[in-house]
Structure 1
Amino acid sequence: MSHASPARMDHLLTLDGLPRERIEALLDRAQHFADGADDRGALAGTAVCTLFFEPSTRTRLSFQLAAQRLGADVLNFDVSTSSARKGETARDTLKTIEAMGVRGFIVRHQDDGAVAALANAAAPGTALVNAGDGRSAHPTQGLLDMLTLRQAKGADFSSLKVLIVGDVMHSRVARSDLHALRALGTGEIRVCGPRMLLPDDGTLAGCVVTEDFEQALEGVDAVMMLRLQRERMEEGLVASLDDYHRDFGLTVGRLRHAAPDAVVMHPGPINRGVEITDEVADGPRSLVLAQVRNGVAIRMAVLEQLLRA
């Protein structure tokens, strides 16, 4: 994480090590935007580029909308139609677009640490936001999840029990959520999933970890389901989609183990009938669309913080 002074962030690369006050300030500002505040001129005359080396729907579109709402000029870079296909490096691509006067870059990359490397190559005054790198971090998803949770449960997380379920090993979302939940002082963080999909590298330090889904759900206030990355089946980490759903799929029946007012979250895209049933995904406890809506507000807060002169 790069934060040069209390007043200024240079880049947003990870939530790991980001102080609670900084996170809460971003959540407060995002709530201001979510409530309909109109700061359309904040980034007028500033050019922002979405530099995506990996496909995306929600993240790219909500960053685009966030930048436009702040009055920025938005360029969309698509690796499939770019000079990267001719062999141009990510660094050269960044420096080329930077030379056109672009000050903000929203970068998604398949490799861990790739966005931090680009941030190191950027000129002073250029700001990068990590829109997901490898399995490392997806900081704005972590922030929008916290905003959604805060709207549902209040700003004091100290009495909350939050459960994260599924393929934590390969999930940058889970890592950013864990960083944020810890920073905000969450009372109890539980993690549940197949043993093969739970990391043993310290990521789950301080969490209550189990493979028993019903037990993990007992009395929780929020359930954060993760997408099962189907390619993990080819690696032999999951036997079948049916087996996964049987053991770790969230159903209406299973949700009864949670607190009566428990909420359900999912970063999307959802594999319906695998990690979650339609009845739950579209049901009264689901905050999935609220998460999408909050994505725009969080990304406005982040871009304003990084790029406002």
Structure 2
Amino acid sequence: MSDIQLDDAGRLRHLITTEGLSADLITQILDTAESFVPEIGAPAKKVPLLRGRTVFNLFFENSTRTRTTFELAAKRLSADVINMDVATSSRTKGEDDLDTLFTLQAMGADVFVIRHPENGAAARFAAHAGPGVAIINAGDGSHAHPTQALLDVFTIRRHRPDFDNLSVAIVGDIAHSRVAHSTIHALKTLGTTDIRLVGPTAFLPENPATLGVTATTDITAGLADADIVMGLRIQRERIAGDVLGDIADYHRDFGLTEANLAHAKPDALIMHPGPINRGVEITPEVAYSKQSLILEQVRNGIGIRMAVMALIAGQPAAAEHARTS
């Protein structure tokens, strides 16, 4: 995958997954994002790094946070932005996804931000992208969601910068979550070794040891003295049949409730990639508590996505901007 993602100089060419990205490259992305994230209450920064470039948001799945923050990010970089409505495109007439890519490339696209329900779709688009055309994976199936993982570790770094000594618990539907897969890789690359996966057996990976993590169905043990607790929604669109049973039981046993979070550290920080399902994997009291970083994650997503697009399509100006900001 690194052969697809990086150019001959080791710089970002596409962003498909966090797997294989070096700690130095992840840190460069995080540091670049710092230059784009304004202080709360300060006006948004707009820079000309992508002036004259065209970004297509090509979403084959629904999205609120990811699509909107990518659009804002591209506009704040001064790019021209086209949001494709796939539901009303020629795909409904039988056009192949790659033909859609080729058609939009012919219109002068420079960057495609792509969300797709199939694992590996982003890599397939990248393999067929024209010279100078970049693909950014906004989520493919249950495989990867790299910008979400990057904004997660960016948010963590702002509050708990010592990744080597972090204890992170990820709770919920890990098996079907592209966010969990990408965030685990990013955390491990930055030095975190204590990563616990917590959920019912059907929601845990079959071989957690191969990921370098631990897994448990006991939320008491899983949250014990955790610094960061990340909740995940149930990925119903990727699950065949009903593997859950009673929602009330799931919420009691695995929900981020005040009772369950009592097992984490008193100052544990709460995260969630959204959308949240109230009364299922989290309560509103926890989601909007003082320890919650959920809305901060959303804000930071703009800066991270600006950084990724700038480093891919705005070189070398992006590096100079980050250095001098």
- The normalised TM-score by structure 1 is 0.96
Partner of 1:114: 121
Question: Among the aligned pairs, what percent are the same residue?
Answer: 52
> Quick check: 1:60 aligned with 2:67?
yes
Partner of 2:51: 44
Partner of 1:91: 98
1:27 to 22, 27, 30: 30
Partner of 2:82: 75
Partner of 2:6: 3
Partner of 2:191: 185
| 8 Å Cα contact 2:193/2:212 also seen in 1 | no
| 8 Å Cα contact 1:232/1:238 also seen in 2 | no
Partner of 2:181: 175
Partner of 1:18: 21
| 8 Å Cα contact 1:175/1:203 also seen in 2 | no
Counterpart code for 1:208: T
Shift in alpha-carbon separation, 1:147–1:305, aligned structure 2, 3 A? same
**Which shows bigger deviation, 169-178 or 253-262?**
253-262
- The normalised TM-score by structure 2 is 0.91
Counterpart code for 2:27: E
Partner of 2:234: 228
For these two proteins, the number of residue pairs brought into alignment is: 308
| 8 Å Cα contact 1:51/1:106 also seen in 2 | yes
Counterpart code for 1:182: K
Q: Kindly state the Cα deviation for residue 38 of structure 1 after the two structures are TM-superposed.
A: 3.5
Aligned-partner Cα distance in 2 for 1:197–1:212: 13
Q: Kindly state the Cα deviation for residue 3 of structure 1 after the two structures are TM-superposed.
A: 0.8
Q: Any idea what SS the aligned residue of 2:179 has?
A: helix
Structure 1 residue ranges (4+ consecutive) displaced by more than 6 angstroms after TM superposition: none
Aligned-partner Cα distance in 2 for 1:203–1:61: 36
**Which shows bigger deviation, 219-228 or 247-256?**
247-256
Partner of 2:133: 126
Counterpart code for 1:65: L
Shift in alpha-carbon separation, 1:84–1:201, aligned structure 2, 3 A? farther
Aligned-partner Cα distance in 2 for 1:133–1:200: 20
> Quick check: 1:260 aligned with 2:266?
yes
Partner of 1:295: 301
Question: What does the per-residue CA deviation read over 1:20-69, in whole Å, with 9 as the maximum and x for residues that have no partner?
Answer: 00001100111111136845100000000001111111000000000000
Question: What does the per-residue CA deviation read over 1:92-139, in whole Å, with 9 as the maximum and x for residues that have no partner?
Answer: 001100101111000000000111111111111000000000000000
Counterpart code for 1:14: T
Q: Kindly state the Cα deviation for residue 6 of structure 1 after the two structures are TM-superposed.
A: 4.4
Q: Which runs of 5+ in 2 are unaligned?
A: 316-325
Counterpart code for 1:289: L
Q: Any idea what SS the aligned residue of 1:34 has?
A: coil
RMSD value, Cα: 1.5
Shift in alpha-carbon separation, 1:283–1:202, aligned structure 2, 3 A? closer
Shift in alpha-carbon separation, 1:142–1:204, aligned structure 2, 3 A? farther
Q: Kindly state the Cα deviation for residue 202 of structure 1 after the two structures are TM-superposed.
A: 5.4
Partner of 2:321: none
Q: Which runs of 5+ in 1 are unaligned?
A: none
**Matched ranges for 1:148-227 at <5 A:** 148-154=155-161, 156-201=162-207, 205-227=211-233
